[in-house]
Chain A
Amino acid sequence: MNLLGLGKYPLDNRRLIGALFLTPALLYILLLVGFPFVLSIAFGFSDVTVGNTDLSYVGFRNFLNVWENDIFRQVFETTIRFTLLSQIFILIFANILAVIFTQDFTGKWFARFIFILPWATPVSLAMIGWLWMLDTKYSPIDYLLLQMGLLGRGGLLSDNRNLFWLAAPDLAQISVIFVQVWRMTPLATVILMAGLSSIPTDILDQAEVDGSRFMRTLLQIKLPLILPIMVIALLFSMITMFGDMTVVYVLTRGGPVDYTRVLGLYSFQVGIEGGNLAQGAAISLFAFPLLLAMAIFMLRTASRAEVR
């Protein structure tokens, strides 16, 4: 084999084999990410509707209209708030769980299996489950609270028999954030577990010999070493959540009022349900510069942490 990676047989050719391995991923990105993205940019700069997809260029008009829309600004703020709050909880829980699941204990594999289920379950199916759990009238959670005397006349939490999880503004927002954390934590945990498992054992052995206890090893050795991978986990989670509309579409449809309306849902309501495809595309594209800046910042952070 020479320096260019060219071998005697075609499959020894590193370039060829590399290109072959990358092709499916590239095709996937081009067809299922790249093409829709380019299409939505084209839509955003046109006056396309659901009934007429002829692309007539209108410049930045859709973006300006969207920016002047008070509802959009509120939706944008809600999306950022939900994403940031969720990430804080996801980061805390994922770290704790990753540490627990990398320890040895009886039933570890079963616990891991149960824990990964929220991520493995199709999101729409899982949300229907939560819709039942948080039902305004027949919520099993309310039933338990009622049996415990916390709800109903004289109840500590409310005089009503229900808390109205998806109808009261505060509870609806908490419910959406909780469900997002429930859904996204397993992925972040698995990524962090991979990071923890990749720490060379000799470093940990050395720390133990030097008398480092659990918390010190965790805070001063493990966490700094997995910081790059933690940033990647956070990035995955943030991007997924920022663009998600399934959770709120199934649970609240953005209500009560606009309290849980997020960018993805609003884009869908304006573009598809409202028929104004161009403005719907413009709404969805507002997330792009923010996500791009966030991704660049986080990847740089990860890269710097890795170099050190």
Chain B
Amino acid sequence: MKAIGKLAVVFLFMTLTIASSAQSAFPDGTAISLLQWRHFVPRHDEWFDGYAAEWGAVNNVAVQIDRVNFAELPATLAAELEAGAGHTIIELISSSAAFVEGLHDLSDINQRALDLYGEQLQHCRNGSYLPALGVYFSFAHGYFFNHGNYDIALWTQAGFPKGPQTYADLLAGGRAIYEVTGIPLGIGLSPEIDSEMALRELLWSFGGSIQDENENVTLDSAATIAAVSYMAQLQQQAMTAEVFGWTGASNNQALIAGEVSFILNPDSAYRSLQNVDEAGAANIGFTPGLAGPAGAIAGSFINSSVIPAYVSGDELRAAKQFILDLSADYSDATYHSELFNLPCFPAAVSELDTWLESDPFGSVPADKFAVLKPALEGLATLGYPGPSNPAIGQAYGEHIIPNMFAQVALGATNAEEAVAQAAQRVEEIFTRWREKGLIGGGQ
């Protein structure tokens, strides 16, 4: 009887195994293609190629990966939606909410991920969910966040051995360093990605924002004017005109050249320095978001996947499975991006705390990243404190925020006028998208 019982168990196990493998494998000929941005940490893309190939082999799906510069992704997605053909999954950094009507609602896999991997961080949800329609226009699997990277030797001499902790410290220390050594701060005031986020962080930490959490425009405020005035002072006293021409590569260039005392950037600039100058990297310390009158709010970009509406059938099923499985394996994504990609579902990367306490990539000291841990609890993304809706996306595309800050720093106008002008344009943008029914607010 025992033998029969064992046989029955083995038979049942085999049946279940075959059934589950038949369910997960896709029919012959299934293929998906991914369009990604070239990662700032090259090791990530090497790993991802292998990961995707392996996933394809296990699931009987041909996986093709194409990569472009991150700035080209919105234009490529727009062209593919217009053509009704193109890649299966497109990975984006900036808000893709404006594309929502041409994308699949990914509520199902977002819900499935919540069931599988537990809670999702709020800023990731804000970057992928559109309340006005009640849909997830993307699946946010990870994020990278801006933190302070400071020159330890210079800031120690200026009396801030742990680097600046507040915007007041940044002004006092940055100015002192610039006056004595001629080495400026490096916070962009230019129409590009790093300036967009750095200036939003400043705005939020001063209590300003483009919108409130209900998607009403709130830009024209005393807090915004204070932030803009502060930035003008900071630029004029502690930076050169270089920041008006800042590009996506400037943070890296300046940190590696040792020609800035402080930048706001994810860890990619530091990792680049680590690759070429270990001693120089050891002299770089991190600070979480700088505190302003309204607290310390660090900004983050969301790594999200979207699936265009033209994708269907097995291709769509395979795409959703790929996205879900990637979140399950997010430890690898975080590790191979050298802690650049952080998980939107923290439970999926149980090693994160350990890695932050002891950097697996040879930082000196090993716990260099530990100081960033508290910041991970309350990050913001484009649209904070509300969602990254299409109006926020258009304000980003038109570079309204960096231009508002820059024109005052250049002395072209005063803070009140610059803020009023920017707020007027933002209001026009919001009105237009509200008429389309794609954002809420308007009360």
Best-surrounded residue of A164, A167, A168 (most CB of chain B within 10 A): A167
Docked Cα-Cα span, A279 to B243, in Å, equals: 30
Which residues of chain B come closer than 8 Å to A25, judged between CB atoms?
none
Name the A residues within 8 Å of B81 (CB-CB): 50-51, 53
- Residue from the list B243, B245, B397 in contact with A274, Cβ < 8 A: B397
In the complex with contacts A51-B103, A71-B425, A270-B398 CB distance below 8 A: yes
Minimal beta-carbon separation of A69 from chain B (angstroms): 7
Closest Cβ of chain B: how far from A116's Cβ, in Å?
Answer: 30
The segment from B31-39, B337-345, B366-374, B405-413 that touches chain A is B405-413
The answer to whether A167 and B253 have CB atoms under 8 Å apart is no
Known: A51-B81, A51-B100. A136 touches B74 (CB 8 A): no
CB <8 Å contact, B398 and A269: yes
Closest Cβ–Cβ distance, residue B301 to chain A (whole Å): 15
Question: Is residue B191 contacting chain A, with contact meaning CB distance below 8 A?
Answer: yes
Task: Check A215 for interface membership: any CB of B closer than 8 A.
Answer: no
- Complex interface: chain A residues within 8 A of B103 (CB): 51
Which residues 385-414 in B have Cβ within 8 Å of A in the complex? 390, 393-399, 402-403, 406-407, 410, 412
Task: Kindly name the residue among B245, B253, B425 whose own CB sees the greatest number of chain A CB atoms within 10 A.
Answer: B245
User: A244 contacts the other chain (Cβ, under 8 Å)?
Assistant: no
From A137, A164, A256, A266, B254 is in contact (CB under 8 Å) with A137
Q: Is the CB of A257 within 8 A of B407?
A: yes
The answer to whether A252 and B410 have CB atoms under 8 Å apart is: no
Chain B residues within 8 Å of chain A by Cβ, number? 51
Q: How many interface residues does chain A have, given as a range?
A: 35 or more
Q: Is there a chain B Cβ closer than 8 Å to A222's Cβ?
A: no
Q: A50-B102, A52-B102, A136-B245 are in contact. Are A275 and B394 (CB under 8 A)?
A: yes
Tell me the smallest distance from the CB of B127 to a CB of chain A, in Å: 15
Which label, helix, strand, loop or mixed, suits the secondary structure of the B interface?
A: helix
Which residues of chain B in 411-443 are interfacial with respect to chain A, using CB atoms and an 8 Å cutoff? 412, 421, 424-425, 428-429, 432, 435-436
A164 touches B397 (CB 8 A): no
- A254 on interface, CB distance cutoff 8 Å: yes
Closest residue of chain A to B78 (Cβ to Cβ) is A50
Bound-state Cα–Cα, A55 to B396, Å: 25
Given contacts A270-B394, A275-B78, A275-B393, 20 further A-B contacts (CB under 8 A): A49-B98, A53-B102, A70-B424, A136-B242, A164-B242, A253-B191, A254-B191, A254-B399, A255-B190, A255-B245, A256-B190, A270-B398, A272-B78, A272-B397, A273-B75, A273-B397, A273-B398, A275-B99, A276-B429, A276-B432
What is B's interface to A at a CB cutoff of 8 Å?
A: 74-75, 77-78, 81-82, 97-103, 189-192, 240-246, 250, 253-254, 257, 259, 390, 393-399, 402-403, 406-407, 410, 412, 421, 424-425, 428-429, 432, 435-436
Q: Which 9 A-B pairs have CB atoms at the shortest separation, nearest pair first?
A: A275-B98, A167-B245, A274-B397, A273-B397, A274-B394, A256-B244, A52-B101, A51-B102, A51-B101
24 residue pairs from A and B, CB less than 8 Å apart: A51-B98, A51-B100, A53-B81, A53-B102, A69-B428, A137-B242, A162-B240, A164-B240, A164-B241, A164-B245, A167-B245, A169-B244, A169-B410, A253-B192, A253-B399, A255-B245, A256-B190, A256-B245, A258-B403, A266-B398, A269-B397, A273-B397, A275-B78, A276-B98
